[in-house]
Structure 1
Amino acid sequence: MKHALMALIFGSFTFGGAASPLTQAEQQAWLEDIDFYVQQVKTQHIQPFHTLAEADFYLRVERLKTQLPVLTEAQVETRLMTISRAISDGHSNYFMMSGPHQHFPFRYKFFGDTLRVIDTTPKYRNLLGAQLSSINGVSVAELYAQLSATLPGVDNQYSEKTSFEYYLSLHKLLLGLEIVAEGQSALFKFGTGKEEVSVQVSPVSMSEFGKLSSAYSRTEPELTAQSIGMPGITLSLLRQHKAAYFAFTSYPKLEQIIAHCEDLQATLRTADSRVIIIDFRGNGGGNFYSGLALSACLQSLDQIDWMQGVYVLSDGETFSAAMTNTVQFRQILNATVVGTPTGGDPNQFSENSVFSLPNSGRRFSLSKRYYPFSDVQSDAVYPDIHIAPSWEDYRTGKDTVLTYLLSQLNAHTQLPALIE
């Protein structure tokens, strides 16, 4: 869901300004937009007040309307993000990035409680790997506390972290929270291990920020990925382990999996693969029926060790359909889940509809289905083998989780129940 979410929000609109309080005309336009938003929440969400009390929802809305004369556009949108976040399901969100926006030029990733720069523009290349300390004097812990109430795509503490990693770069959100000021650079402080570095940073365009992902390429284990006709899924044959590794980063269409199933089966039979590894890390979701089609395709292969030879890799970005398939593969493929907890809740509100506000054109989504995928109440799918990537491994290109799993397969040892 979260990657599909990103595809929805790269629109370009010209409504209002972010620096000064709203004009009378803009206030009226936002009043109409807010009323439209409220009406859709009431009528289109399958159960809008499953967590947030209805009275509290209306109180928040009325407070926003009352404050419109003294708010900027960024503050209005930040409050709408906060109201959507309070609905408390990761598929009901307000998309600030569906309007004009900029980003500070850093991509971040948590390693434990340390937030590090994993990619940036050439101007700040010396800060790769540095630990963010503060923005305009606001510490990372304080930033987290302030942003957490606004973040979209959140089902639990794990998806909250991954959402924070991304949205901390969003200039307009930091404007709305009054952490940065319009038209001014922001003071970023980083720890490099040897010293603290302070730098004034200005936001960049979405097109420039969109080029950033991670400057650290995986080099270990060495994989040779091949297309299997299923866009979003590649196959690497690890012959020394008799393993088939599927990098399942996004969801192909159901018919694409069905059309190429027989070819995939023939490839795995020829390779005499006995172990299946399906990697859902970083997968924000799609159509979980496509994932089920892949499992159905694989199940006819009697050569697979169906007792101890199927593994699913997960992390905090494993969300929506990817989380669902993680639950399902544990059940129907007898899979062992390896990695860190999923960002998705196994009992989730999902399958959202997307709406556009009539005046501003901003978009928001609301859940229209509920899926209880687990009889046990839990906020995430917790792995059978817990392994968190280390900064040192990440820095050197080593995939901590996959390397560990393959080393155990190579040693022909039974994997322990939990690795901390």
Structure 2
Amino acid sequence: MQFNDVRNSKDLTLVEFAMQLQEQIKHDDIEHMVLDLRHNSGGNGSLTPPLVATAAFFKVLKPQGKLFILIGRNTFSAGHDVAVKIANIVPAIFVGESSGTRPNVVGEAGWFNLPYSKQTGLISSQFHQQSRAEDHRIWLAPDMPITLSAKDYFAGIDPVMDAVLTITKQ
């Protein structure tokens, strides 16, 4: 599943989506789960628990199945938190490029206006500790590092997903 924004849609909440996904995992012949966070630059971090729970649900229901989390340079903020939270509770295979931020970060931006110039700004003000306090990594490194190229992009080739499909066919 490709998950690009941590927010409810106008037609479906993230809780409802997670419940639908859990029903599919229960009743369909699903062997592996792929969570694509490569284009997820964040959203509302308070909405992440249902998706994290769904990843754990998958691993409990399908212990032989592999959970792949695709990450990249555009995996930030609440999208990044999903990856870290899942990795803290169930085994996952990270594939792609290094993520765009640290496991422990300052987030939850707030808007402000400068008094004289009237310029609008955005500042992050809340510390999010998703990993242990001593975790000084500057990103999440993938277990399977795969670089992207302009040639692949323009040819419509996704080497990250191709690698995952190769593993799942073994």
Structures share fold, TM-score greater than 0.5: yes
Q: Distance in 1 between matches of 2:73 and 2:128?
A: 19
CA displacement at 1:346 relative to structure 2: 1.3
- 2:107–2:127 CA contact under 8 A, matched in 1: yes
Name the CA distance, whole Å, in 2 between partners of 1:268 and 1:409. Answer: 17
Match of 2:77 among 293, 297, 320: 320
The offset of 1:276, in angstroms, is 0.8
Select 1:370's aligned residue among 127, 131, 134: 127
2:41–2:74 Cα contact (<8 Å) kept: yes
SS at match of 1:261: helix
* Structure 1 counterpart of 2:6: 251
Secondary structure of residue in 2 paired with 1:350: strand
User: Partners in 2 of 1:287 and 1:308 — Cα distance?
Assistant: 29
Q: TM-score, normalised by structure 1?
A: 0.37
Residue 57 of structure 1: aligned partner: none
Greater RCO (CA < 8 Å, at least 6 residues apart):
2
CA–CA distance in 1 between the matches of 2:47 and 2:153? Answer: 30
Identity of aligned residues (%): 25
Alpha-carbon contact 1:345-1:381 (below 8 Å) kept: yes
> What is the RMSD of the two structures over their aligned residues, measured on CA atoms?
2.2
User: Deviations for 1:163-216, whole angstroms, at most 9, x for unmatched residues?
Assistant: xxxxxxxxxxxxxxxxxxxxxxxxxxxxxxxxxxxxxxxxxxxxxxxxxxxxxx
CA deviations 1:111-151 (Å, max 9, x no partner) are xxxxxxxxxxxxxxxxxxxxxxxxxxxxxxxxxxxxxxxxx
Q: 1: CA distance between counterparts of 2:156 and 2:150?
A: 10
The 3 A distance-change label for structure 1 pair 289 and 334 is farther
**2:158 maps to amino acid:** D
- 1:6-17 to 2 correspondences below 5 Å: none
For structure 1, the residue ranges without an aligned partner over 5 or more in a row are 1-245, 413-420
Question: For residue 271 of structure 1, what is the aligned residue in structure 2?
Answer: 28
* Contact 1:390–1:400 (CA under 8 A) maintained in structure 2: no
Say whether the 8 Å CA contact 1:351–1:367 is kept in structure 2.
Answer: yes
Written as runs of structure 1 = structure 2, the 5 A alignment for 1:66-145 is: none
State the secondary structure of the residue aligned to 1:274. Answer: coil
Shift of 1:314: 0.6
Q: CA 1:405–1:260 in structure 2 vs 1: closer, same or farther (change >3 Å)?
A: closer
- Residue 165 of structure 2 aligns to a residue whose secondary structure is helix
How many residues align? The count is 165
Aligned to 1:390: 149
Secondary structure at the aligned position of 2:2 is classed as: strand
Choose which of 405, 414, 420 in structure 1 pairs with 2:164.
405
Q: Structure 2: how far apart are the matches of 1:325 and 1:261?
A: 13
2:65 and 2:96 map into 1 onto residues whose CA distance is 17
SS in 2 for 1:300: helix
Give the letter for the 2:139 counterpart: A
* Residue of 58, 62, 83 corresponding to 1:304: 62
C-alpha change, 1:248 and 1:320, in structure 2 (3 Å) is same
Relative to structure 1, is the Cα distance of residues 408 and 261 closer, same or farther in structure 2, using a 3 angstrom cutoff?
A: closer
Aligned in 2, Cα 1:372/1:268: closer, same or farther, shift over 3 Å?
closer
Picking from 96, 108, 112, the partner of 1:339 is 96
Deviation at 1:360, TM superposition (A): 4.1
- Closer, same or farther: CA 288–304 of 1 in aligned 2, 3 Å: farther
CA contact (8 A) 2:55 2:86 kept: no
